[in-house]
Amino acid sequence: MKKYLLLAVTAILAISSVHAQRYFTREGKVSFFSDTPMEKIEAHNSKATSVWDTQSGKMEFAVLIKAFQFEKALMQEHFNENYMESDKYPKATFKGAFTDTKNVNLAKDGEYPVTVKGTMEIHGVSNSLEAPGKIIVKGGKVKAMSSFEIAVADYNIEIPGVVREKIAKTVRVDVDVDYEELKK
């Protein structure tokens, strides 16, 4: 009897691993925007790394802070040296999951609303994050997108008094990822 139970469990695990798909990217796009009456600041990063396991819904992101590009070189220098301390805290990460992927059909074109829920770590500080997103399937390609706001103070990012009025207290973050299937 034990042999049959062990054989059945092994068969179930083998079948479920065949249907599990993993997607990844090394070229995810992450942008942020700070908008105040005094100044608009935006930066773009196209080097985000992400992995998504479609069976469990779990996903992870890693973004190198120094890879954010600004319109003005001086802004980029201040961002890395004075605010983000990117030598000390070289990356931001997110570990979590798409919590509602039951209705996502990766074999059928469409836009599928999802919720992303997990832990964001920026500047050495971790906070819970829940944000709306969508998974877009078109012509066999899979894309994930989300837009959310974070409070700069929640991540212990100190803004000097001299420029405090130029930088918003909350920053909008946009994520746009074209996933590729991870081949075994």
Q: What is the DSSP string of 19-47?
A: H--EEEEEEEEEEEEEE-SS-EEEEEEEE
CATH number of 21-181: 2.40.128.110
Is pLDDT of 135 > 70?
Answer: yes
The chain-wide mean pLDDT, for the chain, equals: 88
Angle at 66 (CA atoms; ends 65, 67), nearest 5 degrees = 90
Contact 116, 130 (CB under 8 A): yes
Amino acid at 40: K
Binning pLDDT at 50, 70 and 90, where does residue 2 land?
very low
For 9, the 3-state DSSP assignment is helix
* pLDDT for 130 beyond 80: yes
Q: Is the pLDDT of residue 172 over 60?
A: yes
Report the 3 state secondary structure along 116-153.
EEEEEEECCEEEEEEEEEEEEEECCEEEEEEEEEEEHH
For residue 35, the model assigns a pLDDT of 85
pLDDT computed for residue 20 by the predictor: 59
pLDDT at 100: 86
- Within 13 Å and on the Cβ side, how many CA atoms surround 50? 32
* pLDDT exceeds cutoff 60 at 9: no
Q: Is the pLDDT of residue 72 over 60?
A: yes
Query: What is the arithmetic mean of pLDDT over 67-73?
Result: 95
Domain ranges for the chain, please list them.
Answer: 21-181
Q: Read off the pLDDT of each residue in 48-75 and give the average, rounded to a whole number.
A: 96
